[in-house]
Each structure stands twice: as structure tokens, then as C-alpha cells.
Amino acid sequence: MFAGEDGEAAAFAMRIVVEMAGVVGADRLIDVTAAHVDGCLYHGIAGLEFAERLVTAGARVRVPTTLNVGYLDLLHPERYRGDKPTAANARRQMDAYVEMGCRPTWTCAPYQLAERPGLGEHVAWAESNAIVFCNSVLGARTARYGDFIDIAAAITGRVPLAGLHRDEERRASLLIRLEGIPERLLASDALFPVLGHLIGREAGSAVPAIVGLPADTSEDRLKALGAAASSSGSVAMFHAVGLTPEAPTLEAATGGAAVPEIAVTAASLRAARDELETAKGGDRLSAVCVGTPHASLSQLERLAELLGGEQPSVALWVNTGREILAEADLRGVSGALERAGVRIVTDTCTYLSPMLGAAKGRVMTDSGKWAWYGPANIGVKVVFGSLEECVRSAFEGRIVRDPALWADA
Amino acid sequence: MAGDAQGPALVLDEPLSFWGGVDPATGDIIDVHHPQCDANVAGCVLVMPSGRGSSSSSSVLAEAIRAGTAPAAIVLGEPDPILALGAIVARELYGRTIPVVVAPMPAVRTGDVLTVRARADAVRID
């Protein structure tokens, strides 16, 4: 392939894979069974020219490949408020990846699609929140891939044997122990993005083991934790002891080694929550944004239930994948959300694509990742709240908090 | 990534994600959580402990190299394949790139002029 017998595109892709193997110190390549590609999101001319060069050279993916979010919501184009030339380039870039044979899934939560990799399976996933979910919750194996190498891996079906593909790199090197967290906070969805944010700050790129999470912690909650930890840090895998597949016990997670320990208390969580917020003073909201990473069906159902068919007084946006939306349509969930005036966004995210328009100002979100990137990407100030706090605040048009939630036990 | 470069050092106190952290149109640091927010990376020898966060940083670095707003070189305390990849693809597409090297953090301050000479097997920073 490297020498060009499979065509110019495969040779170009293999050159990238081999060069990466050198950068990460791998002495051989391994097969992957699937890929998730992030390069379809437009950041400027370079990414577009890269994709179109591959298409012109006849590139085709060799393994089943899903696509991450793009810059545009192709199902709701009327929401776009940006300029036309950027939209045209962004669309060309999305089309180029479909032309290479990738599935137009347009979601940052490929683990919510029907087919997902299983324990021990080697894949090449990009998108930081998907990477951490894949390694931690599914137990499938991906290194921290980014744009360019993702499609190169999909075209060649090969990746360097390095990073989290290797057993020894998957062991926990840091222990995060939850201590004295009040039951009420442990039972709230608000805990997980804030804990993830704190872990990202403390762990950097290490693999942490977390002890003290409730035994019934859902995938949605682990998703929120991982997304925040891979935003404030470079966490690509965590072990939730007793919950995730490679961590039935702490010893299994660490391989028996003694590792440094960090205690997390209600006070450190409050500090992490405050650090995540950039809106200080004042309480009027211009919008509420939830569904980052893309909402699951059960999260959409919960949102509809909290709204109870009533219309909030400020715009409430939710992002989800188009395949989840199709399911929500069948079950009447999208109808319930639309009757409550919810703006459903697919294929992209409210912090990527210019959609909020005049809603700039103070925005409340239940996502650690949205809170982290929103201010830089679209110039808003953010406030963090649980989904319930977000919905109550959307009704009131101002920040409504549950003061008991973050109190000491 | 091999290559030679020279420029004033910009020493970052914390890791920086290029995506969501640097505007490739200007080279400005836009990450509001970053201690060096509002500094400009263009033409600098960017010295930082490691990369961070998003897997889109490869694209943002490649775009900055294309647009001429990239640092002259990046010196990292630990390897970051995502940034290396941005530099590799810029070289493939545009025939120009920047050295992205791993070295013990040099004892320099922002503004000191650094020369980076990177070869396949050795890095020298003066």
C-alpha cells in the first residue's frame, strides 16, 4: 500500500500512518475493524483541501466508518446564521467524506448507534469524548486519534500499535477517590460533568481510576464525565471501579501497582463547578443549551418529561444525532419537544455552528464540555446547571438553582 | 518533525488545545481558561508542557501553518501526536511546515529568542 500498488490515495494515507508510527514510537501496525472520523468538521481551507485531495486521488474507506459532527445542521439548514462562503466550504468538506464511503451519521456520540465495538476490539476513533467512551465504557481500544490520521486509518485499515491499543498503557496510574459526597449530589446528573472537569484538570493525559461512583451510574452519566475530562484535560480513558469492563476491582484497574491518590470532596466539586462558569454576576439568561455530547433517546425523553408540554420563556436548544432523532420521531418524543418550543439540532452542535445569533449573552448548560468550549467558540458566557435546573431556568428566563444540591452532607 | 526555526519564545504555563484555543485566522489564543489568553502564537517558538483536549487540533494547526499564523516551532514537554500530525499534513499539502519537538522544558522566558534545530534523531534548542 505504501509503495502505491493500491493507488495514490492509499499510499498517501499509509504515509501518514507510518509517519505517525514514528512519532509515537510504534514498531508495527495493527488492523482496526472500524473508524470514527472527526475530520469532516470545517476549520478552514487546509482541512477541506486535504479531504478533496484524497477524493481526487480515489480514496475509499476499507473498514466501516462513521462520521462525527460537521459545521452544518443538514436537516435544519434554516437555523444557520453564518456567512454563505463558509457554509459552502463546510458542505464541500462534509460531502468529501461521504464520497470516500463514510456513513453520514454526523454524530459525536457514535457509541449511541446500533453497531458499536465490543470489549478488546481495536478501532480508530477520533473525537475526544468518543475516544474516552470507547476505551472506558465499551472496553474497545482506540488511541487518541485526531483529524487526518482518522481517515488515513479508515482508508488503510491500519494503525500504529501504540498508546491505548496496548495493555500496559490502559492501566490506571492515578486514583480519584470520592469522599463524603452527599447522596443527593451522587444521585444528580450534575455531578458527572463537574467531576469530569475536575478529573481533566488533575489527570492531564493520565488514566485515572475512580472509586466511589454509584453502582447504577448510567452510560449517559459516564458520557458526561468523559466529555468534560477530555476537554479540560487529555483524558482518553478512565476506569470507574465496579462499573467499567476493565475495572471490576481497583487492583484490576491498576494492575496491582500503588498509584497516587486524589480525594474529591463536595468542596472540591463546588470549586470545579465555579471554575467552569464564566458568567459572574447577574442572572438573566439568553438561552439554554443541552445535549453535548449528542443527547441519547433517554435524555430526550427526560427533557420532554421535565418540560411537560409547556413552552420556556427563553430559547432551549438540544443537540442530538439524526439516528436518535429518527427514533425519537417514532416514539413521539420529538413531537413533544417541538410542542414545547425546543429547538432540536442535529449533525452539529450549538457551540460549533453559528445558530444562537442574537441569543449571545448568558447561556446555561448541563454539559461540562459545552461550558468549557462555548465561551471561546461563540463568545457566550456560561453558567452550569443540572438538566432540571436548566429547564427551570429556561421557564423563568433567569438562573434558578437548587441550593441544596451542592451543599455539604 | 524535523526542521529549523527561530523566534521569540512564548512560554505557556498550561497545556493549550489548538482547537477552541487558537484562532487560525489571527494566531490569537482564545481559550478563556488559559493563563496566556489573548497572547498571539504567530512566529513564536511556542513552549508548553503538553497538548490538550480536542482531536481537531491537527486541523487547526495545519490551517494556521497554511494561513501563516502558526508558531515558528512548538516545543513540548511530552509527545503530542495530534499536533505532530497537523505539521505533517501541512508539509504534504503545502510543502511547508514547522518543527514540533519534544524536549525537556528549556529554562527560558517569554521574549527570549530561541533557535530550534530538529533532526530525525536529535533536537537542539539555543
Record the cell numbers describing residue A125, joined without a space: 476513533
A8-167 and A278-396: identical CATH topology? yes
Could you give the CA distance from residue A215 to residue A193 in angstroms, rounded to a whole number? 17
Mind telling me how many Å the CA of B79 is from chain A's nearest CA? Answer: 8
Hey, are the CB atoms on A44 and B24 less than 8 Å from each other? yes
Dihedral sign for Cα A103, A104, A108, A113, please.
negative
Going by C-alpha positions, the residue among A352, A362, A357 that lies closest to residue A385 is A362
Domain ranges of chain A: 8-167, 171-275, 278-396
Q: Among B17, B50, B54, B58, which one carries the catalytic annotation?
A: B54
Going by C-alpha positions, the residue among B16, B64, B61 that lies closest to residue A234 is B16
Query: Which residue in the block uniquely carries the three cell numbers 453535548?
Result: A292
> Does the CB of A38 have a partner CB in chain B at under 8 Å?
yes
Could you give the CA distance from residue A118 to residue A20 in angstroms, rounded to a whole number? 25
Could you give the CA distance from residue A256 to residue A209 in angstroms, rounded to a whole number? 12
- Chain A residues within an 8 Å CB radius of B81: 20, 23-24, 143-144, 146, 149
pTM here?
A: 0.94
pLDDT of residue A341: 96
Hey, are the CB atoms on B85 and A204 less than 8 Å from each other? no
What is the residue-level pLDDT of chain A in tens, covering all 409 positions? 888 888 999 999 999 999 999 988 999 999 999 999 999 999 999 999 999 999 999 999 999 999 999 999 999 999 999 999 999 999 999 999 999 999 999 999 999 999 999 999 999 999 999 999 999 999 999 999 989 999 999 999 999 999 999 999 999 999 999 999 999 999 999 999 999 999 999 998 899 999 999 999 999 999 999 999 999 888 999 999 999 999 999 999 999 999 999 999 999 999 999 999 998 878 899 999 999 999 999 999 999 999 999 999 999 999 999 999 999 999 999 999 999 999 999 999 998 888 887 556 899 999 999 999 888 888 889 999 999 999 999 999 999 999 889 888 6
Going by C-alpha positions, the residue among A101, A126, A136 that lies closest to residue A38 is A126
* Architecture of the structural domain at A8-167: 2-Layer Sandwich (3.30)
Hey, are the CB atoms on A149 and B52 less than 8 Å from each other? no
ipTM given for this complex? 0.91
Any catalytic annotation for residue B54? yes
> Does the CB of A73 have a partner CB in chain B at under 8 Å?
no
Q: With a CB-CB cutoff of 8 Å, which residues 53-82 of chain B face chain A?
A: 53-60, 62-63, 65-67, 78-79, 81-82
Hey, are the CB atoms on A147 and B92 less than 8 Å from each other? no
Kindly list the structural domains of chain B, giving each domain's residue range(s) and its CATH number in brackets, ordered by start. 3-125 (3.50.30.10)
Hey, are the CB atoms on A376 and B81 less than 8 Å from each other? no
Classify domain A278-396 at the CATH topology level: Aconitase; domain 3 (3.30.499)
End-to-end CA distance of chain A: give it in Å, rounded.
61
> Does the CB of A39 have a partner CB in chain B at under 8 Å?
yes
Could you give the CA distance from residue A339 to residue A400 in angstroms, rounded to a whole number? 23
Hey, are the CB atoms on A47 and B93 less than 8 Å from each other? no
- Chain B residues within an 8 Å CB radius of A38: 55-56
* B41: number of Cβ within 10 Å: 29
For the segment B77-106, the average pLDDT, to the nearest whole number, is: 90
